[in-house]
Amino acid sequence: MQETLTRLTFPLSTTSAPCSEEEFVARFNQRPGKEARMGYDCPLCRNKEFVLRVENGFHRPYACRCVTIRQNLTRLRNRGLLELYERCTFENYHVTEEWQRGARDCALSFQKSPLDGWFFISGPSGCGKTHLCTAIASQLILSGHDVQIHRWVEWAAQAKAAVTDSGAYAALVQPLKDCEVLYLDDFLKVQHGTRPTAADIRLAFEVLDTRYNTPDKPVLLSSELSLRQIAALDEALAGRIAERSRNHAVQIGSAPGRNYRFK
């Protein structure tokens, strides 16, 4: 947003009583703006998409966090993930067993301090991995964080197909390296039940190693593979995941009745 400066020397309107700089800005920021977009009605800027702040006697406009929130929601809609985002919340995660409680509590703990490492959850299909990661991502989105959400199977297939086209490959891979928060769902899952290929491992390592070397770039990973199974594929990759998710790793074992989709 192009910055403009305005001296705070006039009242809010011709009929308003003179007010302090802080009062002026507070009143302005609460003036209604545009209609809510993407279903998000911003309480901070009233959908104007910028807020005023007082600095050295000037009004300074700053982009409101709702700009990032709506960008995230638009990306989710374009990828067909908006319904998942709306459905998978912490409130809708039903705890009936202790292993579910432990997984939920670990996810909640990470969500409260998302810049402190990574979140990793593994387990069999249907045990709630995607639900909890999406719930974390949803809270981060609503807090104004830039969150990139990708399903590994679809994204990896596109990236591998573009590997001989440097421009197309960079357009697919670089955003995952650069974004503030990255969530990869079904990490290292491949179609038809085969094992991840050497190309899958190289791609995963390229993205995660970049983020590993930038500690303030959180990662959320859900996978059907445990850390031990990932280590059998590539020890260096598993080691980076284990180190960064040391305080927020959940590994759910296979057991009858843990696929909620059958309930």
CB 62 within 8 A of CB 50: yes
Higher pLDDT: 260 or 69? It is 69
Encoded tokens for 86: 């709306």
| Percentage of the residues of the chain whose pLDDT score is greater than 70 | 89
pLDDT at residue number 223 = 97
Convert the pLDDT of each residue in 134-154 to its tens digit.
999 988 888 888 889 999 999
The arithmetic mean of pLDDT across residues 56-79, rounded, is 80
What is the per-residue pLDDT for 12? 41
Q: Is the pLDDT score of 218 beyond 90?
A: yes
pLDDT tens-digit map of 10-49: 344 444 555 677 777 777 777 777 777 667 788 878 888 8
Phi, psi (5° rounding) for residue 19? -140, 165
Domains in the chain, CATH or no CATH each? 6-63 (no CATH), 71-262 (3.40.50.300)
119 phi/psi in degrees, rounded to 5: -120, 125
What does the alpha-carbon distance between residue 115 and residue 241 come to, in Å, rounded to a whole number?
15
| pLDDT of the residue at 18 | 59
Q: What is the mean pLDDT of the segment spanning 50-66? A: 79
**The pLDDT value given to residue 53:** 82
Are the C-beta atoms of residues 218 and 241 closer than 8 Å to each other? no
Q: What is the pLDDT of residue 127?
A: 93
Q: Is residue 262 very low, low, confident or very high in pLDDT (cuts 50, 70, 90)?
A: low
Q: In this model, does residue 66 exceed pLDDT 80?
A: yes
| pLDDT grade for 103, boundaries at 50, 70 and 90 | very high
Residue 130 pLDDT: 93
CA 100 distance to own-chain centroid: 22
Cα–Cα separations (whole angstroms), residue 162 to 101, 156, 157, 158, 166: 41, 10, 9, 6, 7
This prediction has a pTM of: 0.75
Helix H or strand E segment including 222: strand 219-223
Q: What is the mean pLDDT of residues 159-188?
A: 96
Closest to 223 (Cα-Cα) out of 102, 130, 160: 130
Structure confidence at residue 32 (pLDDT): 76
Say if residue 9's pLDDT is above 80.
no
**What's the pLDDT score for residue 23?**
77
